[in-house]
């Protein structure tokens, strides 16, 4: 097994032994490890504290950037939709993962798989209601303000 994937799996197993979920991640650039993370929901009481996001946060803070173009993520489990989206926003090029979303669901960790399925539905058919509330007349438009800034 690749050394970076091996480390991600090692982190995940250690996290389980420490009371966490079985997820570890290693962020790599130019064949060098830049940061790593584990799922810390149980420690931080933060639903976004997934392994991949934790690794990204460490790297971004260290380098004072939000862009991670030309980076590779190694994850012990297939990234959930939130992590995948964050990686798209950051510009990560490649993601390798060991356990699939189906494997996670089989272990009782099926939210990622469920959310992937939910996102395939139209907004109207999703379990979470989404209601568009357009700006009122005369209200300052943050998007228009942004356009004048850039």
Lookup: tokens for 46: 């933060």
DSSP string of 36-99, one letter each residue: EEE--HHHH--TT--HHHHHHHHHHHHHT-S--TT-EEEEEEPPPHHHHHHHHHHT--EEEEEE
Is 40 an annotated catalytic residue?
Answer: no
Choose the catalytic residue: 21, 36, 40, 52: 52
Lookup: tokens for 76: 């012990």
CB neighbours (10 Å) of residue 120?
A: 9
Q: Which residues are known catalytic residues?
A: 52
């Amino acid at each position: 097994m690749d050394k970076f994937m091996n480390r991600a799996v090692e982190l995940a197993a250690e996290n389980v032994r420490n009371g966490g979920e079985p997820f570890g991640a290693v962020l790599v650039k130019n064949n060098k490890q830049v940061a790593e993370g584990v799922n810390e929901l149980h420690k931080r009481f933060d639903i976004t504290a997934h392994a991949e996001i934790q690794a990204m946060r460490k790297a971004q803070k260290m380098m004072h950037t939000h862009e991670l173009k030309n980076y590779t993520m190694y994850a012990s489990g297939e990234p959930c939709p939130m992590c995948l989206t964050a990686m798209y926003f950051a510009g990560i090029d490649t993601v390798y993962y060991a356990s699939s979303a189906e494997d996670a669901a089989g272990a009782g960790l099926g939210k990622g798989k469920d959310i992937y399925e939910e996102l395939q539905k139209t907004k109207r058919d999703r379990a979470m209601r989404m209601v568009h509330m357009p700006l009122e007349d005369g209200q300052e438009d943050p998007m228009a303000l942004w356009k004048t800034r850039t």
